Amino acid sequence: MDMFSELDSARGSPKLTDIRAAFRLTGAQRAEAKWGLLFISPWLIGFAIFYLAPMVVSLLFSLYDFTLSAPDEARFIGLQNWSRMLFDDPNTWETLFVTFKFALISLPIGMVSAFLLAVLLNSQHLIGKNIFRTLFYAPTMVPLIAAILIWSRVLNPQTGWLNQLIQVTGIQAVGISGLRWLDDPNLIYIAYTFIGLWGIGNAILINLASLQGVPTELYEAASIDGAGWLRQLWSVTIPMVTPVIFYNLVLSVVGLLQFFIVPWVLNLGSGYPEGTTNFYMIYFYKQAFTFQNMGYGATLAWFMFIIGLAITIFLFATGRYWVYYAGESR
């Protein structure tokens, strides 16, 4: 079972009887519970100190006007940070818009590429599968910063190899009037998506493992029914790998919401070109750490948490209708 299907099976709030039962354990059960809690205590303590407490404090911070350089002047201002963020600060919605726009371009390209590459790497007609698998995974091992630095030069309109490669196919790409990947507001998200494609190795791998798990009888049956390759892909393969697609989707959405490093390394979060790279996380960073505006920063962070939670809940709720789990009757 993958992580999220485990989650699905554990779903449901504890019932009152469970709570009562928890306090009525026999001696042996009590001993076992004691050991269990002792073993999980490292995580439990860490969770309390580094997750639960900071989340609560973060929510409290959002009710204060609090600058780190002058902690003594912190004062309670109620919901003013929240109303400023939601109604008076145009940056909130602009940076959210930028983040979502990029996610809507980058997410489908990344997920479809990972799936199709997995199909290719699973093909019975491919010679040298293992070497291909290793090499297609290799860029994912390139440290992200190194990848960004290399891509930023490969995408150079004059000297970069990408434009020179495109030029070979007859399209005018090189030069001032060519494809200015990192300077053109219309191309910037595609350029960032390219960089992201160097990180889809994990998605390829779990897609691949899932493809290998599809029972061959299903293909044989479909083949007897006269289904061609494309039809088999659509009606057998894709439904069978929906759990993996779902898993990748949730992790990608959460990751993209926090998109930060690429624009930071390329232009220190200046938003260049024309504000198209003012991502929400960059704005949060500036408020919280550049301006040391802890109260407002905490508000922005909590808002991001709420949005992420809403999307995750939405995905899990709709996932019931399109994610197929073997052995479940619907």
Partner 1 sequence: MAEKKKKNDALTEFEIARRRRNLLLQAAITLGALVLLGVYLMPLLYGVVTSLKTKAQSADPSAPLLPSIAITFDYEGKNYDVLQVPTEAGVHEWALVKKGRRASQFVDPGNPDAGIIDWEGNWRALEPVWAPSVQWDNYPQAWNTIDFARLLFNTLVYAFVTMFGTVIASSCTAYGFARFNFPFKNLLFMVLIGTIVLPPAVTLVPTYAFFVNVLGWGGTWLPLIIPQMFGNAYNVFLLRQYFLTIPKEMEEAAQIDGAGRIRTFVSVILPQAVPALTAVSLFHFFFAWNDFFGPLIYLAGNRGANPITVGLTEFNGLYSSETQLILAAAIISMILPLAIFFLAQRVFIQGIVITGVDK
Residues 139-158 that bind partner 1 (CB under 8 A): 139, 141-147, 149-151, 153-154, 158
Using CB under 8 A as the binding rule, the residues of this chain from 4 to 43 that contact partner 1 are 4-7, 10-11, 13-14, 18, 21-23, 25, 29, 32-43
Of 221 and 310, nearer to partner 1 (C-beta) is: 310
Q: Which residue has the tokens 């109260």?
A: 295
Q: Which stretch, 76-84, 104-112, 204-212, 269-277, contacts partner 1 (CB under 8 A)?
A: 204-212
Using CA of residue 216, residue 221, residue 222, residue 228, what is the dihedral sign?
Answer: positive
Q: Should residue 3 be labelled a site residue for partner 1 when binding is judged by CB under 8 A?
A: yes
Of 98 and 206, nearer to partner 1 (C-beta) is: 206
Q: Which stretch, 79-87, 91-99, 101-109, 137-145, contacts partner 1 (CB under 8 A)?
A: 137-145
Exposed / middle / buried, residue 151 (Cβ in 10 Å: 0-12, 13-18, 19+): buried
Cβ 195 vs Cβ 234: under 8 Å: no
Question: Containing H/E element for 56?
Answer: helix 53-61
Q: How far is the CB of 292 from partner 1 (least distance, A)?
A: 9
Q: How many residues bind partner 1 (CB under 8 A)?
A: 118
Using CA of residue 265, residue 266, residue 271, residue 275, what is the dihedral sign?
Answer: negative
Of 187 and 197, nearer to partner 1 (C-beta) is: 197
Using CB under 8 A as the binding rule, the residues of this chain from 245 to 304 that contact partner 1 are 247-248, 250-251, 254, 257-258, 260-261, 264-265, 268, 281, 284-285, 288-289, 294, 297-298, 300-302, 304
Residue type, 53: A
Of 32 and 225, nearer to partner 1 (C-beta) is: 32
| Euclidean distance between the first and the last CA atom of the chain, given in angstroms as a whole number | 18
Interface pick for partner 1 out of 16, 127, 176, 230 (rule CB under 8 A): 127
Using CA atoms, how far apart are residues 150 and 276, in angstroms rounded to an integer? 21
Q: Should residue 230 be labelled a site residue for partner 1 when binding is judged by CB under 8 A?
A: no
Q: What is the DSSP string of 260-316?
A: -HHHHHHHTT--TTTTTT--HHHHHHIIIIIS-BHHHHHHHHHHHHHHHHHHHHHHH
Cβ 266 vs Cβ 182: under 8 Å: yes
Site string for partner 1, 71-110 (x = CB under 8 A): x---------------------------------------
Of 11 and 224, nearer to partner 1 (C-beta) is: 11
Q: How far is the CB of 186 from partner 1 (least distance, A)?
A: 22
Cβ 183 vs Cβ 205: under 8 Å: no
Q: Which pair of tokens denotes residue 256?
A: 């993209």
Interface pick for partner 1 out of 76, 87, 161, 322 (rule CB under 8 A): 161
